[in-house]
């Protein structure tokens, strides 16, 4: 239990200091969420490594930061007010665990709100995301 407590680093508060590696990994993922909320596709592309993998219900095995960035571009086109509301961010070594809610309106229509609970597990190496496994219910409107 003491070991677990010493390696967790939570978003917004650090009751127990994380290791230097944990902090770098979590900082990289924070940059990704900041870029997402700015709809900065170029920054997102730079945060993922050129050989990064994205696994999700819609993209079972997407490879490459350009392909990953393109999926974000399409998402921002479909949900022009898309925002990730981060609820939890924790790190262990080079893995970062994020729980968040994607909100917005499909095609910008106020009568088509979206709210999707998502959890992602990121692997970070050399300040770049190398693997992103994201889980959500595709049936959620």
Check whether 10 has a pLDDT greater than 80: no
Domain range list for the chain: 2-135
How far apart are the C-alpha atoms of 138 and 101, rounded to whole Å? 13
The enclosing H or E element of 90 equals: strand 83-92
pTM of the complete model: 0.82
Check whether 78 has a pLDDT greater than 50: yes
Residues 2-135, CATH architecture: Roll (3.10)
- 138 vs 78: which has the higher pLDDT: 78
Q: Flag the least confident range among 16-25, 74-83, 84-93.
A: 16-25
Residues 95/25/72/50 CA torsion (nearest 10 deg): -90
How far apart are the C-alpha atoms of 31 and 23, rounded to whole Å? 12
Residue 104, pLDDT score: 97
Mean pLDDT of the region 26-40: 98
Angle at 127 between CA 121 and CA 128, to 5 degrees: 60
Mean pLDDT of the region 126-140: 92
Q: Which of 117, 129, 140, 136 is nearest to 68 (CA)?
A: 129
The residue written with tokens 């730079």 in the block is 46
């Amino acid at each position: 239990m003491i070991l677990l407590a010493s390696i967790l680093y939570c978003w917004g508060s650090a009751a127990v200091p994380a290791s230097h590696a944990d902090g770098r990994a979590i900082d990289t993922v924070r940059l990704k969420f900041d870029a997402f909320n700015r709809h900065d596709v170029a920054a997102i592309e730079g945060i993922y490594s050129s050989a990064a993998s994205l696994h999700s219900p819609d993209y079972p095995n997407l490879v490459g930061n350009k392909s990953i960035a393109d999926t974000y571009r399409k998402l921002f086109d479909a949900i022009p007010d898309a925002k990730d509301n981060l609820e939890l961010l924790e790190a262990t070594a080079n893995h970062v665990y994020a729980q968040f809610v994607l909100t917005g309106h499909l095609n910008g229509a106020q009568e088509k709100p979206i709210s999707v609970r998502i959890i992602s597990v990121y692997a970070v190496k050399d300040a770049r995301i190398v693997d992103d496994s994201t889980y959500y219910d595709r049936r959620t409107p």
